[in-house]
């Protein structure tokens, strides 16, 4: 086992948990925000499991995802995404604190099931594609993946993140936050446009793959 990679992964995991807990619970101004505990549980428990599996089975992929740095073209999308997430989490906590419009418990529980489904899809995409990266790039010796989920849509990772990100605010019980998170759709549309251009220019066979698999994210829709 790579102890340095383990330390780096745990540091990022614990740091992310702390930051997100503060973003969720400080605006709510109470630890009695049960939707916040539900959200942190369904996010970080599977994350820990996936990280442990990658550490054992595919440490190179784990290290690549931990060390990823965005290219210049994607920095604006990344910055806007950060603002979107910040606004969504703060609004969710404030919504709970001031009781503006807290969604029923069954909505949060149903959204949690959808979130876990998105997580399972995310794990399957990582299993299918060893070249998967958090950045827009073409890697050395990379080949087109056209089997499994990649035979249905060209970007199944973005399908999984749509399920994850759009269910997050509903888990937290906030319709206002859900409205904010809808901005993720045009953001990933911008990212996909840039990504497809990079793949067309640098990945052999991608042009033929685009003709074979028509849909980018959602079958028969997008």
Asked which of 33-37, 75-79, 208-212 is least confident by mean pLDDT, the reply is: 75-79
Alpha carbon distance, N-terminus to C-terminus of the chain: 41
How many whole angstroms separate alpha carbon 171 and alpha carbon 39?
A: 6
Domain 3-212 has CATH 3.40.50.1400: no
pTM across the whole model:
0.88
Q: Indicate whether 22 pLDDT > 90.
A: yes
Which of helix, strand or coil describes residue 206? Answer: helix
Looking at residue 142, what is its pLDDT?
Answer: 74
Residue ranges of alpha helices (H) inside the chain are: 3-28, 34-57, 59-66, 72-98, 105-128, 156-171, 175-181, 184-202, 206-212
Provide the residue ranges of all domains of the chain, joining segments of one domain with +: 3-212
CA distance 12 to 3: 14
What was the pLDDT predicted at 134?
Answer: 53
The rounded distance, in Å, linking the Cα atoms of 183 and 192 is 15
Longest pairwise C-alpha distance within the chain: 54
State pLDDT tens for residues 157-181. 999 999 999 999 999 999 999 999 9
Mean pLDDT of the chain: 88
pLDDT in the model for residue 138: 59
């Amino acid at each position: 086992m790579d102890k340095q990679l383990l330390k780096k992964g745990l540091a990022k995991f614990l740091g992310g948990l702390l930051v997100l807990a503060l973003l969720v619970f400080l605006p709510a101004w109470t630890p009695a925000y049960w939707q916040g505990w539900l959200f942190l549980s369904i996010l970080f428990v599977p994350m820990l499991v996936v990280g442990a599996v990658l550490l054992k089975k595919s440490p190179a992929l784990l290290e690549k995802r931990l060390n990823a740095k965005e290219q210049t073209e994607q920095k604006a999308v990344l910055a806007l995404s950060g603002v979107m997430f910040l606004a969504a989490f703060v609004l969710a906590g404030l919504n709970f604190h001031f009781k503006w419009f807290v969604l029923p418990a069954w909505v949060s529980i149903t959204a949690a099931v959808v979130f876990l489904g998105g997580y399972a899809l995310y794990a399957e995409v990582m299993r299918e594609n060893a070249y998967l990266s958090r950045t827009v790039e073409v890697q050395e010796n990379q080949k087109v993946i056209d089997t499994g989920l990649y035979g249905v849509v060209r970007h199944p990772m973005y399908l999984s993140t749509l399920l994850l990100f759009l269910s997050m605010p509903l888990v937290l019980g906030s319709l206002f936050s859900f409205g904010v998170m809808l901005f993720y759709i045009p953001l990933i549309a911008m990212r996909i446009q840039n990504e497809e251009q990079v793949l067309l220019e640098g990945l052999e066979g991608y042009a033929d793959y685009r003709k074979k698999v028509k849909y980018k994210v959602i079958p028969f829709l997008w």
